[in-house]
Structure 1
Amino acid sequence: MNGWNARDIPDLHGRTAVVTGANSGIGKATSLYLARAGARVLLACRDASRGEEAMSAIRGAAPRADLALLPLDLADLASVRTAAAHITELADGRLDLLVNNAGVMALPLRYTTDGFEMQFGTNHLGHFALTAQLLPVLGAQAPARVVTVSSLAHRYAAMDFANLNAETGYRTWTAYGQSKLANLLFTDELGRRADEAGRELTACGAHPGLSSTELGQAGLRMSGHARLARLERLTRFYTQPASAGALSVVRAATDPTAGNGAYYGPRRGLEAWGSPAPARRSHNARSVEDAGALWDASVRLTGVTPDFGPEAPRP
């Protein structure tokens, strides 16, 4: 039994999808799978030139791909707001799929344009604000899905609400794990609130296991630890390609049996590699209390209040 694979992706003609961080790695591979299945894919990228290169590569592999490129810097809430308005215009009132994939990993202490710790600000707050501002076109006219990409690192994290912005200290991998835990808590709270509002919006999560991507290799190199730098060299030989890791994301995005809170990752090697299957979430990732607290903190920090009403204003 080979498990779920690219042949299981349903026909996506007539669907519009947004993939953040689509210029490389998991995002680029995800965009290619969706485009091959017939979806119109909007590639949301921080670097325009790399986005153009990715779009060209995707078209080379899928000549009939329907693609568009738009700028998005998740570390700048003004850029998020502009991107949401642009997506809303391009979607023409209906967005079927949002893949919150872009992220940073294991950075030295840095801050976003708005003064947030970079990993939490980019990986969670930027995606929270983007999703919130796209609610007018997500599930308003037809069923829609939001997939947020987490990581195995979430299992070793706990939410420290007194230190979301490195107020009381900063540890590189602790901050990264917290941002990935936030991705799963956000996913669950989004699904719950959409259900309560009667919105046809499904929120799912995924992780790519140990995949060979620029993000993972750069994170290990920039960690500042000699042992992790050596690990970066070793992982090149033991990780699966981005095209394999992206299948977990694509399953979360397209499997018709996936409901709110579904979470997928590779099924082999302690979820490190292999075909996508239901993945294990940590005890902390199942905390309803923390999910609600994170939602409230995200509204306060970003100044963006998600509105699930049918007449939600456009961003």
Structure 2
Amino acid sequence: MAKSTTPEQLESVLDTTVQMSANSSLDPVAEAYGEFTLIYGIEILSLVIALVGLVGNSIVLWLLGFRTRRSPFSVYILNLAVADSLFLGSYFGLRMWRIVGNLNSLFLKLLWLCLLGLPYSVGLSLLAAISTELCLSVLFPICYTCHRPKCMSAAVCAILWALPGLYWGAFVALYFLKNDHFYDLYFLLPLVQYGWFLLLTCVLCVSCLTLVLRVQCSSQRRCPPRLYLLVLLTVLVFLLCGLPRGILEALWIFTDFPIMPYRISRLLACVNSSANPFIYFFLGSQWCRRGREPLRVVLQRALGEEQVGSESRT
């Protein structure tokens, strides 16, 4: 690799997060108008979804952080809400900055990549941890109850925040070193990132599949606890809406082969981070009751960990 070309290669890696999809047409005027309408329609819709999701995740943060008692799975949900809020807030702020300002410099592309990549990686890691621990609590209830440390959730969350933080910190540090000998590391770091992405995705799918089979094979259960449904629905939304972003970025970096326009993947990522609070409150609501319940009660019912404990003993 010639040293004269490495800065251009570095910029092409960072530019994957802000690439614009363009299509050719035999009618330039009609195509330009249609593309303009589609592009800005998607942008406005993604900004609205991000704003609504930011409000929903802020409510979850307030309730879990200050209004309810901490429990093992509520710690995971709290950190997941932090990651989703960081992703949506960063996306909304940077998209507005791009609309009213300039987001073309290499440094701002780096900022875009880090502020969106960190919460995305943490969110995937937390989902894998939640589904794995819930699966273990179902398969090995006695060992899980007797040998699980009290601070395990907080420790796991701290590790899952620290590992992506170290990765993106190394990424930024290598950029500011501006040494030709370190440019090759920019192409090794994505290998580490997407190896981690592939591992967590496999763990997420295997643990959720095991949980589904465990629920279906049980003859003593009329309906699964709300926490099971909460985890399964959250994972399903991630697989449908959050996973395409990671796959698309991997393809852009390693093969330069897009499977969908990047704006669509950003829109789906915003849907993924915004849908979780609605899942919580939907599962926690009791539609047969009249009157409005406090959101704190609804959220506690959705997390219903007492059902997991009773279910593990059956």
| Superposition TM-score, scaled by structure 2 size | 0.28
Give the number of the structure whose residues are more often strand, by fraction: 1
| Superposition TM-score, scaled by structure 1 size | 0.28
Give the number of the structure whose residues are more often helix, by fraction: 2
